[in-house]
Each structure stands twice: as C-alpha cells, then as structure tokens.
Amino acid sequence: MTRYDEYLAAAAERQRTDLFEYLRIASISTLPEHGPDIRRAAEWVAAHAERIGLRNVRLMETPGNPIVYGEWLDAGPDAPTLLLYGHYDVQPAEPLDLWDTPPFEPTVRDGRIYARGSTDNKGPLFTYLAALETVLAVDGRLSYNVKLIVEGEEELRADHLEAFLEQNRELLACDACVISDSALYARDVPSIALSLRGMAALEFRLETADADLHSGMYGGVAPNALHAMARLIATLHDDDGRVAVEGFYDAVRPLPPEETASWESLGFDEEALRAEIGARRLIGGGEHDPLVRMWARPTLDVHGMWGGFQGDGIKTVIPREAHAKLSCRLVADQQPEPVLEALQAHLRRHCPPEAELTIVWTLPGAAPMTMPRDAPIVEAGLAALGTGYGREAVFFRSGWSVPVAALVKERLGVDSLLLGFGLPTDGAHAPNEHFDIANFERGTRTMVAFFSSPNGR
C-alpha cells in the first residue's frame, strides 16, 4: 500500500461526507429560484479548494453565475501548466415521482451514489479535488502547475464562459486543459475520448394561410401547414438515412484506418446497444458501422414538430402554421456556421410552394474537438488510468458535445484532455442519476497518479 493509498483510506469517510454535502446543494442553473443555491455551491467549491491547499482561490463574477478560480503554481517553470475544468450547476430533477429517493439527498445502493449531479459533474469533479488534496498532503507538491475553474452555467449557456476565457487569457494561460465533465467508454474500461462532436441547431416555422380554416368548408383547396412540414422534413434524409442537405458532408475529415482498427479491442456489441436503448432496430446501417456513425459521422435530427390542434378529441381545422426544431452533431472539420447556412439553404430550396418559411432562431452551439493521441498530456492520462484501474487504457471517440473544449481551443489556444469517470448508463439529466462508487475510488486513484506522476514533465 502506497502513502497515497494510506491517506485515501484514512480520509475516505470524510471525503464521502464532503461529497454528499456538495450533492445536497440544489444548484439548478436553469431555474431562477435556485439562484441562492447556485451561489452556495460556488462558495462551497471555493472553500473546499482553499481547504485542500489551492491558493489565490476566489469567486470571479460574470454577468451570470460566478466562476470559482484557484491555483497551485509551485511545480516550477519547466513543468506544464494545466487548466482543470468542471461545473457545479446541475439539471432540474423533474419528474420527481420517477426518483426512487430524493434527488438532493444522496443515497447509496447497489454500489452507486444516487443524486442529481452525482455523475454530471459533481462526482467526477470531486475526484480531482480529492486527488489534489491527497497529493498535496502526502508530497507537499504536484507534478504540474494547476489552475482550476469551476463554472455554474454549463447546463444553461456558454457565452458567459466564452467571455470569461477571453477576458482572462493571461490569468488562464496554460499548456493544456483537463476536463472532468466526460465519461468512460464502459464500466471497467479505463478510456480516453479523443474527440467530441460539435453541435448546431435551429427552429423554423411554415405558414400557409392567414388563419386556421374549417376542413369542411375549405378542405381540398386550403393548404395544410402540417402536410407541408411533413414533406419538407422528409427531404432532409435519403432512404438510407444519409443527410440529404447539399454540401453537408463536404468538410468531414476521413477517419484514420488505424484508429478504427483499434476499436476492435473495445468489445462493442451491436445487439447489446440496441437492447440498451430499447430500439426495435438501429438505423443508418450499410456504409458505416455503428461506432463510426455515433462517433465520427455528423447527424441531423428533428427534436420537435408541432402545429394544429393537440387537445383531447378532434378539432377539424386545417392548420395555418407548423413548427420544427432541428439539430446537427458535427465532426472534424465541420464548423457550425457553414452547416447552418447549408441547412437553411436546403429548407428554402425544398420548401413547398404553398408555404412561407421563417427561420425563428439559429444556435451555432459548439465546434467539434479532436485531441492529438500522441500529445504528452494524453500519454500522462493513459499512464494514470492504467495505475488507477489496473489495466491498460484504450481510446474511443465521443458523440456528445462539451462546449468548453472548443472554447478553450479558440480562446486560449490549447487542446483538452477528456479525463472523466462517469458512464454512459449513469442517467445524467434523468431521474435516478448515479455515480459508481468504484469509479469514484478508481477515478481518485487515477488523478492521484496523474498529479503525482513525472510523465508530464
């Protein structure tokens, strides 16, 4: 047993008490009535960061929620400086009746910690804090210079964080960013996601008349906005499920064959995936296998369509307008703005002649991110994961988006290492969200190895 193991064993009960105290704070950023909880969570993180040995800890105000900053810069001029990122805000807990236990009263059962925010992102962030505490307590120093930012609007918006990064470029100057808001490939598989998909979205409206019309009086001559919407939506994909928007795939970077070959070691099971998501069948087969479709190909999805009468019974009117929301997940080297322009051009080109199209809003949410697999910080992450989990770590790609990775690249000019310990099955944003205690413990040991390892020097 190492000195780190001895320290963690002695501190285990206290550290779990600290984590549970943190999880009890209902820091829901999307609901204004939880403003006091947001402030309380930020203050809790700041106080804890100072208690474990970080310096210059403070709350940095933004036009929205405060950002916690702290640092430890005594590793020396030859050591890399790392920016550590996490967020203290959480999603709403509703519907409450689907929780087996109260969402803000952490409960342990079946080897898991159940609470809102347990995996997204309070639990994984706390592994970083617990590891920093351990290494500083045992060694009195870290292998890296460290700057910590913990924000409170990840579940809400990115513009305040973007402005914060831009306004504090000198303060936040670093060699790489390490992001706790990530996940492993699967249970018992230590892994690093080398890429994130980006995101872009829009909402649009179709109008076909000045008012809803009686279907008995005008049926057969009056255009139906829902029919027009159905025809337009149908043009977005071909019969094989490929996106049919002109130019949509033009900027997509081909996958290196050696990377897809390495995925064979992941033990992916297509039927298990189908059963996990409860689908009748998986879509989009043929040209690319499921992992490529989920990780390295862009998507276009309809997230909402509405119009006409939606109450009980029937109301026989021909609706004058229909609405839809779309989003795209983007891959290297796609950028949100050109994709949105191509999508809008497609909608205008294929809009049925009886309808008038209005773009209600667009959202260039985030650019995709790819981390060089041979970067020194990646090598250090692989070594630390091997220590924490007792087996060789693997690479995979992620289909989700983490806007901070793209913002850090754009504003600070550095790449991001995705080093998190949640699981895709942890129920982030859903009722009964949970975090495996095994991943909490292994994640903490991983980060202890990471912060104490000479690999980054």
3-state secondary structure 118-154: HHHHHHHHHHHHHHHHHHHHHHCCCCCEEEEEEECCC
Q: According to the model, what pLDDT value does residue 94 have?
A: 96
Q: What is the pLDDT of residues 329-353, one digit of tens each?
A: 999 999 999 999 999 999 999 999 9
Q: According to the model, what pLDDT value does residue 365 have?
A: 84
Using DSSP, state whether 192 is helix, strand or coil: strand
Q: According to the model, what pLDDT value does residue 158 have?
A: 81
Task: Give this prediction's pTM.
Answer: 0.88
Q: Please, which residues bridge with residue 250 across strands? A: none
Decide if pLDDT at 403 tops 50: yes
Decide if pLDDT at 418 tops 80: yes
The pLDDT of 101-124, averaged and rounded, is 98
Whether the ω angle into residue 168 lies within 30 degrees of 0, i.e. cis, is: no
Q: Please, which residues bridge with residue 205 across strands? A: 323, 358
pLDDT confidence tier of residue 381, bands split at 50, 70 and 90: very high
Q: According to the model, what pLDDT value does residue 200 have?
A: 95
CA dist 220 and 10 (Å) reads 78
The pLDDT of 322-327, averaged and rounded, is 98
Q: Considering the domain 3-196+368-456 in this protein, what is its CATH number?
A: 3.40.630.10
Higher pLDDT, 257 or 116: 116
Work out the angle between the directed axes of helices 159-167 and 403-412 (0-180°, nearest 10).
Answer: 30
The pLDDT of 212-230, averaged and rounded, is 96
Considering the chain, what is the average pLDDT of its residues? 95
Q: According to the model, what pLDDT value does residue 171 have?
A: 98
Q: According to the model, what pLDDT value does residue 454 have?
A: 58
For residues 189 and 93, the answer to whether their CB atoms sit within 8 Å is no
Decide if pLDDT at 457 tops 50: no
CB neighbour class for 96 (10 Å; exposed up to 12, middle 13-18, buried from 19): exposed
Q: Please give the angle made by the CA atoms of 11, 12 and 16, to the nearest 5 degrees.
A: 115
Mention every residue, 6+ apart, whose C-beta is less than 8 A from residue 247: 342
In percent, the amount of the chain with pLDDT more than 90 equals 88
| Cα separations in angstroms, 321 against 18, 225, 230, 349, 453 | 53, 5, 12, 19, 61
Q: Considering the domain 198-252+298-366 in this protein, what is its CATH number?
A: 3.30.70.360
The alpha carbon of 55 is separated from its chain's Cα centroid by a whole number of angstroms, namely: 28
The pLDDT of 18-43, averaged and rounded, is 98
Phi/psi class of residue 140: alpha, beta or left (left: φ > 0; alpha: ψ in -120 to 50)? left
Residues of the chain within CATH 3.40.630.10 domain(s) are: 3-196+368-456
The pLDDT of 249-275, averaged and rounded, is 91
Residues of the chain within CATH 3.30.70.360 domain(s) are: 198-252+298-366
Decide if pLDDT at 402 tops 90: no
